[in-house]
A and B are shown apart, each in its own frame.
Chain A
Amino acid sequence: MKSDRRHFLKAAGVATIGVAAGATAAEANLLDSAKELLLGPKGAAPYPEAKKGARWAMVVDTRKLTAESMEKMIHACNHAHNIPLHPLRKKGDKYNKDEIKWIWEEEFENAFPGQMNEHLPPKVTQNEVLVLCNQCENPACVRVCPTKATFQREDGIVIMDFHRCIGCRFCMAACPYGSRSFNFKDPRIASLEINPEFPTRMKGVVEKCNFCAEQLDKGLQPHCVEACKNGELVFGDMNDPESEIRKVLRNNYTIRRKPEVGTQPQVYYIV
């Protein structure tokens, strides 16, 4: 996002200079200093700790997942991202219509509807698995968004601009994984313990897992990965052949959710 903004500002700067073609040297200097003020000193990277040229992906080792470990990871995410736990909209509702979730548990048959068969080993089908945004290489949500409020970064992360989203929910219809949530009501509820490190949202916008872009920009791992103790989640750079994730993918048979829809999910599962 930062780099997008830089590009935009550069382009805007060039355009301005173009318009002011007849400007005096003093005015050109003024423009230069304005650019420096906006963009920082020349050559400074926006996030020096962030790994450059990365393409982020995740492996979920479902064999290692336990109810306890999943709960820890989900909690870490919910807390870090200020995700409210809304009560049921109406007493007696069969499901929580206001629910916001970025990473959650699902039965195997729900996470992988096309790959279920009744003779799979019980340890595969009876354990729940973690699901989250697949950070697709070819994301349908980005394709349909009418304002570019959801977009793909150079490192592959599909992310939201909460300030631009108009709440049309086209992306929710487009996502083949049900990974997106909408703020049907104000998310800043009293019971929310606000983490000042991450922005809260407002009602009427869509949100979803951002692969903890805010952590990656600091050179850290996503919160869910930090919360797991036994290597349940492996996170890393797909562009680096020597990264741990590439090794894990080389040595294990992995599946992805709904590969037939052509979105190229970047969350892989070992079952």
Chain B
Amino acid sequence: MLEKALTGDSKYWGWIGFLLLLIAVGFGAYLRQFNEGLTLTGLSRDVSWGFYIAQLTYLVGVAASGVMLVMPYYLHDHKAFGKITILGEFMAVGAITMCLLFVLVDLGQPMRMMNMIIFPTPNSVLFWDMVVLNTYMFLNIIIGWTVLQNERKGIHYQKWVKVLIYLSIPFAVSIHTVTAFLYAGLPGRHFWLTAIMAPRFLAGAFCAGPAILLLIVFFLRRFTSFDAGDKAIKSLAVIITYAMILNVFFLLLELFTAFYSQLPGHMHAFVYLFAGLHGGHALVPVMWASVILAVIVLILLIPPKFRNNYNLLIPALIMLVLSTWLEKGVALVVAGFIPNPLEHVNEYAPTLNELVISVGVYAVGALIVTVLYKIAIGVKAEVGDAAH
């Protein structure tokens, strides 16, 4: 099937070339960092994780969101998702590849990466994160590829594939739960020390991931022969709406616990995010932008009249992706370090080199998703399942 990715018009090749260029530039920036060390980032002794790990966190959610298609389709026989489930699975492959690359570029000694396997340490959450991320990635590659291949041959997928599909559902939940445990189990970080960290992550994932997918679906509908169908779009929009409501609700729960209890440790990071603390206020605009966008998104998504109007749905989805990214892909990780354990406010901002590396990683993910989608859509067109 790979040959489907090798034929395309000039726009396709232009896009591939553009991504390869970004990857090359990002790789160049990474070589600089590899040589000089993480001093080229904005990270410090106090804010020791930043943009890279925040992207990991966000993208794990994007990957996990594939389950929002897999579950309705395979468990509840929601036929409308039949055509786009493969898109969710392939998006997960791209997202997890990016997650693993973001961990890699964050390591101080990347050449020793294999120490995690040579000296497996089950009491470390990072060990389990590695296990579930890799397993989930392979599950999605195998499932997506096999189902597509069978579709091409005009046969139903085998029983063993069904077993893997069922297995992939708890694994989707586990990747984001374990990623939340990276944060939620640390004794001195009040901002992260919350039992609803995993549910918050899942709620954020289940709105942001499908939103990205739906935007891609709209793009494919416009520019290719692939049409997911109105029924699938509308069901997915409902799922996104519920998940976004939960996402905002969970944030409000955090705010209640922090401010009604008046526990200083629990309030500090929120004060820092929303108002600034001890003269540090770099994330105040980020947090407010996220919250304001979230409110607009809910207004546009909750009434069916607005949600079913694609002219409103598309901007709502874009704002949703932006809002959740600002919260989880920027603020959540950084604010856990501010104030530091000694209550000093030392702020963080990514450097240009850090951002160029990150763009390179995103380009790798986009390239993988592009190639896999090209194949999927090519096969669907071949068997006559592309147009609605």
- Interface residue ranges, A against B (CB under 8 Å): 89, 94-101, 106, 109-111, 113, 131, 140, 143-149, 164-170, 172-178, 181-186, 202-206, 258, 261-263
Shortest beta-carbon contacts, A-B, top 5 = A167-B108, A176-B188, A204-B108, A97-B44, A184-B39
A204 cross-chain contacts in B, Cβ below 8 A: 37-38, 107-109
Instruction: State in angstroms the CA–CA spacing of A177 and B342 once bound together.
Output: 7
Stretch at the interface among B123-131, B171-179, B315-323, B358-366: B123-131
Contact between B343 and A173, CB atoms less than 8 A apart: no
Tell me whether A261 and B116 are in contact in the complex, defined as CB-CB below 8 angstroms, given that A97-B43, A145-B124, A146-B121 are known contacts: no
* 9 A-B pairs (CB sep. < 8 Å): A95-B346, A106-B342, A146-B115, A147-B119, A167-B107, A168-B107, A170-B124, A170-B182, A185-B36
Contact with A along B106-120 (1 / 0, CB 8 A): 111110110110110
Contact between B109 and A169, CB atoms less than 8 A apart: no
Contact between A182 and B342, CB atoms less than 8 A apart: no
With A175-B188, A178-B341, A204-B109 given, can you name 9 additional A-B contacts, CB distance below 8 Å? A95-B344, A97-B39, A99-B44, A110-B342, A140-B187, A146-B127, A184-B41, A261-B187, A261-B188
Instruction: State in angstroms the CA–CA spacing of A205 and B38 once bound together.
Output: 10
B32-54 interface (Cβ within 8 A of A): 36-39, 41-46, 48-49
Number of interface residues of B (CB under 8 A): 48
The main secondary structure of chain A at its interface with chain B is: loop
Contact between B107 and A174, CB atoms less than 8 A apart: no
Contact between A147 and B121, CB atoms less than 8 A apart: yes
B366: min CB distance to chain A, Å = 26
Instruction: State in angstroms the CA–CA spacing of A228 and B243 once bound together.
Output: 60
B45 cross-chain contacts in A, Cβ below 8 A: 96-101, 172, 178, 181-182
B322-336 interface (Cβ within 8 A of A): 336
Contact between B36 and A177, CB atoms less than 8 A apart: no
Contact between A140 and B107, CB atoms less than 8 A apart: no
A178 cross-chain contacts in B, Cβ below 8 A: 45-46, 340-342
B341 cross-chain contacts in A, Cβ below 8 A: 175-178, 258
Tell me whether A185 and B109 are in contact in the complex, defined as CB-CB below 8 angstroms, given that A146-B121, A178-B341 are known contacts: no
Contact between A144 and B107, CB atoms less than 8 A apart: no
Could you say which of A94, A110, A167 has the most chain B C-beta atoms within 10 Å of its C-beta? A167
Instruction: Name B187's contact: one of A99, A131, A147, A176 (CB within 8 Å).
Output: A176
B189 interfacial contact with A, CB 8 Å: yes
Tell me whether A143 and B123 are in contact in the complex, defined as CB-CB below 8 angstroms, given that A176-B188, A184-B38, A185-B37 are known contacts: yes
B31 interfacial contact with A, CB 8 Å: no
- Closest chain B residue, CB of each to CB of A260: B187
Contact between A168 and B106, CB atoms less than 8 A apart: yes
Instruction: State in angstroms the CA–CA spacing of A132 and B123 once bound together.
Output: 25
Contact with A along B172-215 (1 / 0, CB 8 A): 00000000001101111100000000000000000000000000
B343 cross-chain contacts in A, Cβ below 8 A: 109-110, 113
Contact between B37 and A183, CB atoms less than 8 A apart: yes
B41 cross-chain contacts in A, Cβ below 8 A: 184
A95 cross-chain contacts in B, Cβ below 8 A: 44, 46, 344, 346
- Closest chain B residue, CB of each to CB of A116: B343
Tell me whether A205 and B342 are in contact in the complex, defined as CB-CB below 8 angstroms, given that A145-B124, A166-B115, A261-B187 are known contacts: no
B49 cross-chain contacts in A, Cβ below 8 A: 169, 173
Contact between B109 and A167, CB atoms less than 8 A apart: yes
Instruction: State in angstroms the CA–CA spacing of A213 and B44 once bound together.
Output: 27
Contact between B108 and A174, CB atoms less than 8 A apart: no
Instruction: State in angstroms the CA–CA spacing of A84 and B119 once bound together.
Output: 30
Instruction: State in angstroms the CA–CA spacing of A161 and B294 once bound together.
Output: 46
B108 cross-chain contacts in A, Cβ below 8 A: 165-169, 182-183, 203-206
Contact between A98 and B39, CB atoms less than 8 A apart: yes
A247: min CB distance to chain B, Å = 30
- Closest chain B residue, CB of each to CB of A100: B45
B202: min CB distance to chain A, Å = 21
B39 cross-chain contacts in A, Cβ below 8 A: 89, 97-98, 184-185, 203
Contact between B43 and A184, CB atoms less than 8 A apart: yes
A169 cross-chain contacts in B, Cβ below 8 A: 48-49, 106, 108
- Closest chain B residue, CB of each to CB of A147: B115
Contact between A149 and B37, CB atoms less than 8 A apart: no
Instruction: State in angstroms the CA–CA spacing of A203 and B111 once bound together.
Output: 12
- Closest chain A residue, CB of each to CB of B279: A94
B180: min CB distance to chain A, Å = 14
Could you say which of B36, B45, B347 has the most chain A C-beta atoms within 10 Å of its C-beta? B45
A96 cross-chain contacts in B, Cβ below 8 A: 45
B342 cross-chain contacts in A, Cβ below 8 A: 106, 110-111, 113, 131, 177-178
Instruction: State in angstroms the CA–CA spacing of A98 and B119 once bound together.
Output: 29
Instruction: Name B48's contact: one of A149, A173, A177, A185 (CB within 8 Å).
Output: A173
Tell me whether A146 and B107 are in contact in the complex, defined as CB-CB below 8 angstroms, given that A169-B48, A173-B48 are known contacts: no
- Closest chain B residue, CB of each to CB of A187: B37
